[in-house]
């Protein structure tokens, strides 16, 4: 079963445990500025929204890379950057429509979410299940259930 990160902003409290887990896993430091997942605060609306790479099948980053440094991991479905091959040209950061591939000035390579090889640290660290790692073909199940509940209520009140 292929799994993917499922993000439910309604459950996010903006605590940044995901950013710390990500940077610790990948950089060996608690350093939100180096996290591959970012939580955005929309202050006036009172919303916190985690955001990271969704691992497109026909990934723009992969297609744009001139040296084929980005390849799919067929086990996890993640698009992974091979640091040995990456030349730091940053074309993938331009190609990605979502901004989730970024350049790391310290290493001279690009970094993106690689699902931690199949055990994403952000999902493990999230205290509210705003980030979960679920069956890739059923990411909409919770939303469907929620709307199904509302539909039923509407029926009941008319």
Partner 1 sequence: MTWTGKVLRVNLTNGTCIEEPLNKDWAAEYIGQRGLATRYLVEETDPQCDALSPENKLIFATGPLTGTAASTAGRYSVITKSPLTGAIACSNSGGFIGAELKNAGWDMIICEGKSPSPVILNIVNEKAELQPADDLWGTSVWETDRMIHERVGDPQTRIAAVGRSAEAGCLYSAIVNDLHRAAGRSGVGTVMASKNLKALAVRGTRGISNLKDPARFMASATEQKKVLAENAVTGQGLPALGTQVLMNVINEIGALPTNNMQETQFAGAHNISGEAMLEPRKSDGKANLTTNGACFGCTIACGRISTVDPTHFTIQDKPQYQGNSGGLEYEAAWAMGADTGVDDLDAVTYVNFVCNEDGMDPISFGATVAAAMELFQIGAITTEQTGGMELKFGSAEALAWCAEQVAIGEGFGKDLGLGSKRLTEKYGHPELSMTVKGQEFPAYDPRGIQGMGLAYATSNRGACHLRGYTVASEVLGIPEKTDPAVTEGKAGLVKAFQDATAAVDSMGLCVFTTFAWTLDNMAPQMDAACEGDWSVDRLLEAGERIWNLERDYNMKAGLTGADDNLPERLLKEASKAAPTEGQVCNLDQMLPEYYQLRGWTADGQVTDEVRQKFSLPG
Contacts with partner 1, residue ranges (CB under 8 A): 10, 13-17, 20-21, 23-24, 27-34, 43-48, 125, 127-128
Cα-Cα end-to-end distance for the chain: 41
Residue 82 exposure: Cα atoms within 13 Å on the Cβ side? 12
Q: Smaller CB distance to partner 1: residue 34 or 112?
A: 34
Q: Element (H or E) spanning 141, and its range? A: helix 141-157
Structural tokens at position 76: 């996890």
What's the closest the beta carbon of residue 92 comes to partner 1, in angstroms? 22
What's the closest the beta carbon of residue 85 comes to partner 1, in angstroms? 26
Q: Smaller CB distance to partner 1: residue 73 or 93?
A: 93
Residue by residue, DSSP assigns 38-60 as: EEEEETTTTEEEEE-----TT-H
Q: Smaller CB distance to partner 1: residue 30 or 147?
A: 30
What's the closest the beta carbon of residue 15 comes to partner 1, in angstroms? 4
Q: Smaller CB distance to partner 1: residue 33 or 155?
A: 33
What's the closest the beta carbon of residue 59 comes to partner 1, in angstroms? 26
For residue 4, the Cα-to-chain-centroid distance in whole angstroms is 9
For residue 54, the Cα-to-chain-centroid distance in whole angstroms is 5
């Amino acid at each position: 079963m292929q799994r993917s990160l499922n993000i439910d902003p309604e459950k996010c409290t903006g605590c940044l445990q995901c950013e710390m887990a990500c940077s610790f896993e990948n950089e060996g430091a608690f350093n939100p500025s180096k996290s591959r997942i970012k939580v955005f605060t929309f202050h006036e609306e009172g919303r916190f929204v985690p955001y990271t790479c969704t691992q497109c099948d026909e990934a723009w980053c992969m297609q744009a890379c001139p040296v084929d440094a980005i390849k799919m991991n067929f086990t996890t479905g993640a698009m992974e950057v091979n640091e040995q091959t990456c030349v730091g040209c940053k074309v993938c950061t331009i190609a990605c429509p979502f901004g989730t591939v970024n350049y790391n000035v310290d290493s001279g390579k690009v970094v993106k979410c690689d699902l931690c090889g199949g055990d994403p640290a952000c999902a493990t660290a999230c205290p509210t299940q705003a980030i979960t790692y679920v069956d890739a073909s059923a990411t909409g199940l919770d939303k469907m259930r929620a709307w199904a509940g509302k539909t039923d209520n509407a029926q009941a009140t008319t």
